[in-house]
Amino acid sequence: MNWVFYALLSAVAAGATAILAKIGVRDIPSNLATAIRTIVILLFAWGIVVARGETSGLREVKGRTLLFLVLSGVATGVSWLAYYRALQLAPASKVAPIDKLSLPITVILAALILAEPLSRRLVAGIVLMVIGALLTIGA
| Structural domain spans, the chain | 3-90, 100-139
Indicate the Cα dihedral angle 62, 108, 81, 20, nearest 10°: -110
Sign of CA dihedral 19, 20, 23, 26: negative
Distance CA 56, CA 46 (A): 13
What digits encode the pLDDT tens for the residues 84-109? Answer: 999 999 999 899 999 999 999 999 99
Entry pTM: 0.83
CB 129 within 8 A of CB 100: yes
The per-residue pLDDT for range 32-80, each reduced to its tens digit, is 999 999 999 999 999 999 999 999 999 999 999 999 999 999 999 999 9
Q: What is the pLDDT of residue 139?
A: 60
C-alpha–C-alpha distance, residues 31 and 133, integer Å: 25
Q: Cα–Cα distance between 95 and 88 in angstroms, integer?
A: 10
